Amino acid sequence: MFQMKLIKKLKTSYSIRLSGDKRFLCHNMNNKTIVYDITTWEKVAELNKPNYPQDIRFSLDNNYLLIKSTTGTICVYRTADFQLVRKVQSKKSFKLVEGDVNFTKDHPLILSAVETNNGRQIGAIHIHTGEYMVLTKFKNDDTLIYYHQFVRDRNEHLFTLSYVNEMDYRENRIVKLKEPINKQPIELKSHSEVPIWDSVVFDPVHDVYILVNDYEVILMDSDCKSVLKKVHIVGNRFTERQIGFFRHLHQSQDGRFIVLTYSESVVILRYEDLKTIWIESVPYASFAEFSNDDQYLLVGTWECGYVFENNLPQRF
């Protein structure tokens, strides 16, 4: 697959993460999360809490691992011994909802979308005290919030705010939440030519936003004032049915490659010209990302997971 060397084949892997120090690799299955020592591929932990794990993240200092379930429950473990540090569950006025989450830069807080008495907002939970905070005051109807990325170069977290506008159409905004949390203003960005998208990441190498809406990839400048380029990835060789529906977006750390996960395939684009350089048929695909140093391509599916040695820089 991908004309890459297969390093490790895993069982069911809805997502796969590698710690920043390249010591641990974890993947989530139906009712547990498995952690391996990547130097030996020995299993070092089998974490049964929470059930139905969805998102998994290592803290930037690699000392903690968080796992969020499809029902919103979050468990935080120490990577020194994989003992449970904190289990966070919904409260009456602060309900955790499904979706990706992440640590703040110095890791005492977890950022997540939450359901409050005032609708969906961005919330923060302290991993040691369990204290909750609501960070936003959005007032739009039928609001949805999605976490995407921590942009280390800009010290900010990237979300999408999706809401129903005055014309009764759904519309998106990019939300930038800067650190330190709760001490800097929250920025909202958008462009009239791109009212909605499935996912977005910021590319600090080229100073642009990369957005995906179904089968269209869009580049937008960092001030959201200009749409720089649009490409449609479905051509004569592949149909929308063959590619499947959109699941996940990621970019290599060097900024050279963009990987798109669809339900039936993984598509790799070269950033330079947004040319599709590889389409691999991957049934039941759910996740594909490059590792923090671009050494590996991690691919997850409902049936199995793969760790490949990334050779794209040599080939393209």
Residue 284 lies in a domain: no
18: left (phi over 0), alpha (psi -120 to 50) or beta: beta
Residues 121-139: tens digit of each pLDDT: 999 999 999 999 999 999 9
Over residues 272-286, the mean pLDDT reads: 96
Residues 210-231: tens digit of each pLDDT: 999 999 999 999 999 999 999 9
As for how many domains the chain has, the answer is 1
**Could you tell me the pLDDT band of residue 185, with boundaries at 50, 70 and 90?**
confident
> What CATH number is given to the structural domain containing 82?
2.130.10.10
Residue 316 lies in a domain: no
CB of 300 closer than 8 Å to CB of 286:
yes
pLDDT-above-90 percentage for the chain: 91
- List the one residue out of 141, 148, 185, 143 whose CA is nearest residue 162: 143
Residue 254 lies in a domain: no
pLDDT-above-70 percentage for the chain: 99
Residue 32 lies in a domain: no
Domain boundaries, position 139: 49-190
Residue 253 lies in a domain: no
Residue 104 lies in a domain: yes
Residues 11-39: tens digit of each pLDDT: 999 999 999 999 999 999 999 999 999 99
**Could you tell me the pLDDT band of residue 236, with boundaries at 50, 70 and 90?**
low
Q: In what order do the strands lie in the sheet with 64-69?
A: 53-58, 64-69, 74-78, 84-88
Q: What is the pLDDT of residue 107?
A: 80
- The mean predicted confidence, pLDDT, of the chain is 95
Q: Kindly give, in sequence order, each residue whose CB lies less than 8 Å from that of residue 275, ignoring residues fewer than 6 positions away.
A: 269
Residue 82 lies in a domain: yes
Residue 255 lies in a domain: no
Rounded to an integer, what distance in angstroms lies between the CA atom of residue 262 and that of residue 156?
Answer: 27
Residues 261-274: tens digit of each pLDDT: 999 999 999 999 99
